[in-house]
Amino acid sequence: MILVCGEALVDLFLSPAKGGDVPARAVAGGSPFNVAIGIRRLGGRSAFFGGLSKDQFGTVLADMLAKEGVALDFARVTDRLSTISVVAMDASGVPSYAFHGEGKADRMLTEADLPESLPSNINALTFGSYTLAVEPVGSTYLTLARREAPARVISIDPNVRPTVTPDIAAWRTRFETFLPLADIVKASDEDIATGYGHGADIEAVARDWLTQGAKLVVVTRGGEGAVAFSNTVTLRLPGRRVAVVDTVGAGDTFHATLLSRLDALGKLTKSALANLDETTIADIMHHAIVAASITCSRRGADLPTTADVATALKENC
């Protein structure tokens, strides 16, 4: 089982104003929320550790996680309100975000909320998005990662959100405290450009992450596919052509598929990750690229199932 740590929130999708009205659609979301559901839809087992509100939005989020089969044993329910993320699309379907989250349920986990121990069936933990860098939840997750890293796989996805953490230098300092604990780093080229500068060399950044302890670094590049780095392998795979509706949830789909496929292959262990060969890396990347492309062909973060991915893989044969 994979313990997914981070936020669950509400995405409020805005459409162009019509007269005095601004059409909007509220959708359950949050990168870790999506990853937890994605793992389940792909046949894996996941549990969610994050703050959930007792308000109507929080109740919907909890109900959706439970309906998808995500374990909520570690979720912390609070009277604090749910975070709302306002999402506006550009002409290409690429989203921009504005977060309304100060003091909300997802940010306010403290070390007192940490489980005393984790059951033995949890073999991996994943951390991601802005809850890595805002307080007090960021320090809480860092404590958990430090405690569990010696025995369990740790995966991180920076998913940089400058509207939430505008001090990029401070974000990078916090992110880099997680790096020595991470076995897997999944990032986008946009994350690297935002966090390390638009002239940053992707391979140089990835190699630096490997020297800090990661066993596998995968960088997604939108429609151009993805590139994976290990200490012995560098592998680039192209994207899969689809009619893009929007890209919401594509990175989360990639991360969920990466983890669930590694788990299905028996490779989601520290020793296995240290010895991945090119064939295995190509397999997991291909599955993740195909899965992410399916999400891009749908409206919002509607992550695919195992059957959806299998069908798409057959179409590509």
Q: What is the pLDDT of residue 9?
A: 95
| For residue 317, pLDDT beyond 60 | no
| For residue 173, pLDDT beyond 70 | yes
Query: Taking all residues of the chain, what is their mean pLDDT, rounded to a whole number?
Result: 93
CA 131 to chain centroid: 11
CA distances for 251 relative to 66, 78, 225, 288, angstroms: 22, 28, 11, 9
| For residue 161, pLDDT beyond 90 | no
Instruction: Kindly report which listed range (78-82, 194-198, 201-205) carries the lowest average pLDDT score.
Output: 194-198
Top CATH class of 2-316 equals alpha beta
| For residue 310, pLDDT beyond 90 | yes
Mean local confidence (pLDDT), 270-289: 97
Q: What is the pLDDT of residue 284?
A: 97
| For residue 272, pLDDT beyond 80 | yes
CA distances for 264 relative to 2, 258, 272, angstroms: 12, 10, 13
| For residue 47, pLDDT beyond 90 | yes
| For residue 209, pLDDT beyond 90 | yes
The interaxial angle of helices 189-196 and 168-178, nearest 10 deg, is 120
Residue 25's CB is within 10 A of a number of other CB atoms, namely 12
| For residue 25, pLDDT beyond 80 | yes
Whether the pTM exceeds 0.85: the reply is yes
Q: Where are the domains of the chain?
A: 2-316
pLDDT digits (tens, 9 = 90+) for 119-160: 999 999 999 999 999 999 999 999 999 999 999 999 999 999
Q: What is the pLDDT of residue 21?
A: 84
Q: Give the sign of the dihedral formed by CA 148, CA 261, CA 208, CA 50.
A: negative
Q: Give the sign of the dihedral formed by CA 267, CA 132, CA 64, CA 119.
A: positive
Q: What is the pLDDT of residue 95?
A: 67
Task: For residues 286 and 87, give the distance between their C-alpha atoms in angstroms, rounded to a whole number.
Answer: 29
- Which range of 43-47, 87-91, 238-242 scores highest in mean pLDDT? It is 43-47
Determine the residue type at 40: R
